[in-house]
Amino acid sequence: MYNYFVRVLVLSVLISAANSVLAAEENADVYAFSDVSRVSNLFRVSDDVEALNVLGTTNRDDTITTFGVGGHLKIPVSRQRYTVEGELRRANYSRFDQLNNANGEIKAIWDWQAGSLWSGQLGYDYREAIADFTEFQQQAKDTKKRNRAYFSGTFHFHPRWWATVGLTTFDTSFDRRPNLGRRESSVSGELLFATRAGTRVGVNVTRINADLDRLESIGGGTFVNNDYDENTISAVAIWDVTGISTLRASLGRTERNHDQVRERDFSGATGRISYKRQVSGKTDIDLSLYRQTTTRDEISSLVLTRGISIEPKWRITPKLTFSGKVLYEERDFEGSASDALNASTIRADEVTSFRGKLNYQFRRKISFFLNLQNENRDSSQANSEYDFNSIEAGARIRL
């Protein structure tokens, strides 16, 4: 409750500050919003049998009504720019009303510049929201809280050379699953060189340290420490193929070493290739291919993810826009201590997702939107597959 009132206070200050600089309207925005969504399979259960076991009913759908207020404020000061954003929301569930919750987020960013050679960003954000049910299929509200602080600095020490360092810390916690709480810190360094053709090439080195709050119980009175260190070194390239298309690539090798149960350590190739193209004056498309190590918030161990995504954007008219995303991922849960100790077959998932959003700017201060989503997950682990559809419609009004 204390954190809730702190967020209300901060957002109130934000709104007051935004109203005080409305003379520069492009730098301030205060708004209210509301939306209604219909979800076909809220708890991501696999079938009616699992729904009966988990929910006590075969009714898996629900209607969620959300309303809230938010705002952002940009303050340019000489060569610096300060940004503050905040949003408070209330979500009410029609069928499973025990999930009703208040949530929100706050962000503060300083885009800094020192002279003509140094620039970067210093930021902090806090987000609190109910956790989704992809790995937590219970009629219970599990609030997820995340704090993140980060810093980046770039030294443009030569017309064709850049050196960048980055620091990031995460602190994630779950009310009902304290065993998933963790602190992660990362440090990175990157050196880029621009060729005469304008292509930027270089190398990136990143180190991550993860410290989980509690040991994981894997049965039989055995507890395992899931803390790990991860090191990645990658070659990077940014190529402006044409004036309307850009290719970005990062290819390298990642090693993750756990404090315990070293049989699950990972060493292998990782990378990401992204291609962005402006198809026409009204249409953009982003294509990404990747193979990367991840630690999903609801999973306390390594997940090796291979995927492809396509993201189109279409400005249909000056007032109507469309954005979408098609995603396919293969996820191998290679970091399971239990599987490693028992030489078990690891869990493997395949996820396919389709999303589309229409946004209509009805008036200068009033807009409407419509979201559609379908997601399907197949899994080698029993009762881990699901399929769901959702539709969401809402409105936003600038105050």
Residue 3 is predicted with a pLDDT of 52
Q: Which amino acid is at 197?
A: A
CA 19 vs CA 14, 26, 71, 182, 244: distances in Å: 9, 12, 10, 38, 38
Identify the residue whose tokens are 């009902």. Answer: 176
Angle (CA) 214-220-225 rounded to 5° is: 25
Residue 7 has pLDDT above 80, yes or no: no
Mean pLDDT of 362-369: 95
Residue 13 has pLDDT above 80, yes or no: no
Q: Which amino acid is at 77?
A: V
- Chain segment 328-352, per-residue pLDDT in tens: 999 998 877 777 777 678 889 999 9
Highest mean pLDDT among 1-10, 11-20, 54-63: 54-63
- Which residue in 56, 50, 64 sits closest to 386, CA to CA? 50
| Contact assessment for residue 99 and residue 123, using Cβ atoms and an 8 Å cutoff | no
Residue 354 has pLDDT above 70, yes or no: yes
Q: What is the pTM of this model?
A: 0.88
- Which residue in 229, 221, 293, 215 sits closest to 259, CA to CA? 229
- Chain segment 192-217, per-residue pLDDT in tens: 999 998 899 999 999 999 998 888 87
Higher per-residue pLDDT: 32 or 2: 32
Residues in the chain: 399
Residue 1 is predicted with a pLDDT of 46
Residue 26 has pLDDT above 60, yes or no: yes
- Which residue in 136, 34, 45 sits closest to 92, CA to CA? 34
